[in-house]
Structure 1
Amino acid sequence: MIERLLNSLTFFSAIGSGVVAGLFFAFSVFVMTALARLPSAQGIAAMQSINVAILNPLFGLVFAGTALACVILSITSFFRWGEAGAIYLLAGSLIYIVGSILVTLVFNVPLNDMLAAVDPNSAEGADLWRRYITSWTAWNHVRTVATLAALTSFIIAFRQLG
C-alpha cells in the first residue's frame, strides 16, 4: 500500500512538474516575446488579464498540488534514505519547491502585483513594463529550468522505485 502511494505521488509529481515546465517554457520562449512586441499599454493589459485568468482551480491543483506532493516526497525520502530513488525524490522535490514555488512567490508574484497596480496607459506603466519584461522573464527562465530538472529527477526516481 505504501509503495503504491509512493509510486503514485512520484508519478503525479513528474506529471505536475512537466505540465508546469511546459507552461513556463511557453512563456519563456514566445509568450513574453509576443507581449513585449506590443505597445506597452496593450502588453500590460494582456499580462494583467493573464495574471487574473491563471488563478483558477485547475492551475492551482497542478501548481500547488505538485508542491504538496513534493513536501510529502521529500519527507518520505529521508525515511527511505539509502533505498533506490530516494536521492532523486529529494532532489526533484527540493528543486520544484525552491525553483518553482519559492521563485514564483519571491520574484514573479511581486512583479505581477506591481503590474496589477499600474495604469497601462501611464508613463509609469510604460517604464514599469520595460523593467517587468526583462526581470519577470529572467526569473521565468529559472522556473523553467528548475521544473524541467524536477521532472527529470522524478522520472529517474520512478524508474528506480519501479
Structure 2
Amino acid sequence: MTLAYAVRALATLWSGLMAGFFFAFSIVVMPALETMPPDRAMAAMQAINAAVRTPFFGIAFFGAVLLCAATLALSVWGRGRSFLGTGAAVVYLAGAFATTVAFNVPLNNELAALDPTVPEQAALMTGYIVDWTGWNHVRTLAAMAACVLLLASLITSRARANDDYHRMAAGTA
C-alpha cells in the first residue's frame, strides 16, 4: 500500500464521517428547529453551536480538510496521481470546507450575537434556518460526492495494481 493510497483511504473515511454529520443536520436537526417557536429554536441552535466546539469535532472536521489537502498534494505533485482523488479533494475543500467557512460559520456567529428573549431578534431565526440549511445541503452533497469519488479512486487504483501484477506475472509488462 502506498502513502497516497493510505491517505485517500483515510480521506474517504473522514469525508464520509463529515457527510453523515452534515446530513444529520439537514434531515433531523434543522427540520426539528423549524417546528419550534423561534425563541426556543434560537436558544437550541446557540447551544448546539457552543457544544460542537470540542476536540473530537475539531479532529473530525479539520482531519477531513487536512486529509483532502494531502490527497490533493499527493495527486498533483506526488507519485500517487489520481484524477478521481484530485476531483474529490477539490470538491470537498471547495464544497464542504469553503462553504462552512464562508457561509455557515458567519451565520452561526451572527446567531450567537442575538438574544432569543428579544422577540424581534428571535423572529430572525426563520431566515437563519432557511439560509443555514441551504448552505448545509451544499456541504452535505459536496462531502458525499467527495466520499464517493475517493472510494472510486481507491477501487480503480486497486484494480490497476492487480492488472499490473498479473501482467508482470505473465511476463507481458
Give the TM-score of the pair, scaled to structure 2: 0.86
Tell me if 1:40 matches 2:8.
Answer: no
- Deviation string 1:88-114 (CA, Å, 9 cap, x unpaired) is 111110111111110001000010001
Matches within 5 A, 1:108-127: 108-127=104-123
Matches within 5 A, 1:66-145: 66-79=64-77, 86-145=82-141
Name the stretch that deviates more: 118-127 or 54-63: 118-127
Equivalent position SS for 1:119: coil
The letter of the residue matching 2:8 is T
Measure how far apart 1:81 and its partner are.
8.3
Inter-CA distance 80–161: structure 2 relative to 1 (3 Å threshold): farther
Aligned partner of 1:18 in structure 2 is: 16
Equivalent position SS for 2:2: helix
| Structure-1 separation of matches of 2:107 and 2:88 | 26
The letter of the residue matching 2:51 is A
CA-based RMSD of the aligned residues comes to: 1.6
Give the TM-score of the pair, scaled to structure 1: 0.92
Q: Is the contact between residue 118 and residue 124 of structure 1 (CA under 8 Å) also seen in structure 2?
A: no
Q: Is the contact between residue 4 and residue 80 of structure 2 (CA under 8 Å) also seen in structure 1?
A: no
| Structure-1 separation of matches of 2:105 and 2:80 | 37
Inter-CA distance 97–78: structure 2 relative to 1 (3 Å threshold): same
Structure 1: gaps of 5 or more residues: none
Match for 1:154 among 150, 154, 159? 150
Equivalent position SS for 1:96: helix
Q: Is the contact between residue 4 and residue 71 of structure 2 (CA under 8 Å) also seen in structure 1?
A: yes
Size of the aligned set, in residue pairs, is 158
| Structure-2 separation of matches of 1:36 and 1:125 | 16
The letter of the residue matching 1:71 is A
| Structure-1 separation of matches of 2:79 and 2:132 | 37
Match for 2:47 among 20, 33, 49? 49
| Structure-2 separation of matches of 1:46 and 1:126 | 12
- Deviation string 1:127-158 (CA, Å, 9 cap, x unpaired) is 32011000000000001110000000100111
Q: Is the contact between residue 92 and residue 151 of structure 1 (CA under 8 Å) also seen in structure 2?
A: yes
- Deviation string 1:70-99 (CA, Å, 9 cap, x unpaired) is 11111111136895xx11111110111111
